[in-house]
A = this chain, B = another copy of it.
Amino acid sequence: MCSPAVLAQVRSTLSRRGLLGRSAALGAGAAIVAAGGLARPLVVGAQNATPVASASPAAGSLSGGVALGNFSQIQDLSHIHSPAFPMFPGAEQMAINVLVTVAADGFYKNQLVLDEHTGTHMDAPAHFVTDGTTAELLPVEQLVAPLAVIDISARAAGDPDAQLIPDDILAWEASYGPLPAGAFVAMYSGWASRVGDAAAYLNVDAGGTTHFPGFHPDAAALLVAERDIVGIGVDTISIDYGASTDLATHLTVLSVGKYGIESLAALDTVPPSGATVIVGGPKHLAASGGPTRVLALF
């Protein structure tokens, strides 16, 4: 790495060339538009596997903007995690330790110290299963999936021990049709609104038991035995409900090679059916899970 003095010199040179700063960036954008020119709309979902030389915009794209073809929206389903993010009782909060700063060193970076099960994160099969698949080895085809969101928020609003039961799955199918093959099935309970308050998110009673919604083991059993899923997700901190004494949903899902995603965000902003979820799971060695960037396209 070069010295702060050298970096400062380069900054100065770039600044003279008009390349630094947000205003310069906006200026560059304006220049492209003014040139009438090279910009071409992004059309997700209209790509070819073979190289194409398409100079003309694809049909249906937004003029001058970002058109996503069959997708018109991208929604982030991951929370920002930090040392304040709620952790499962007994697990350590993450630490973010500043290593260097732009002011002192010319660049900025941190060291992260974290439990794999921090923030919006994956539970890989290996989290509960000896010789189960670790997160980095899950087939990549399982990370792009049709998203089904099952809403139990009305029940959860009055009962923190509410569980997603088989009837909720059947009711979803009655409305939207059979669960698509390879689906990722998410429970929306409304719990994400509590994530900024660890006490409310974990909801621990005087006896030390957590109370928040999750998948009933019978619903998990239905999904793995009678449907075709890649995994399940929740907007709470565990795919089992908080008062579970046996974590049977974890075992049911993970023991057949499926994965879980916990502490999902913004599930109320995506359609119950029809979105595609992209699961940017962790890729470190021997991962029992890890922080995961989850995006929904619809």
A residues apposed to B, CB below 8 Å:
1-2, 6-7, 9-11, 13-14, 17, 19-22, 24-25, 28-29, 31-32, 37-55, 66, 68-76, 78-83, 88-90, 92, 94, 96, 99, 102-103, 106-117, 119-120, 126-130, 136, 140-141, 143-146, 173, 175-182, 221, 224-228, 244-248, 250-252, 255-258, 271-276, 278-293, 295, 297-298
Contacts and interface: CB of A to CB of B under 8 A. Distances in A.
A25 B80 CA distance: 34
A78 B293 contact: no
Nearest to A293: B280
Given A51-B175, A245-B2, A276-B44, A283 B108 contact: no
A54 B173 CA distance: 10
Q: Work out how many copies of this chain go into the complex.
A: 2
A224 B289 CA distance: 36
Contact of A40 (B73, B178, B283): B178
A182 to B, nearest CB: 5
A266 to B, nearest CB: 10
Contacts of A116: 109-112
A41 B181 CA distance: 5
B2 A255 contact: no
Contact of A2 (B11, B25, B32, B247): B247
A63 to B, nearest CB: 11
A76 B278 CA distance: 12
A136 B80 contact: yes
Nearest to A253: B19
B96 A284 contact: yes
A32 B78 contact: no
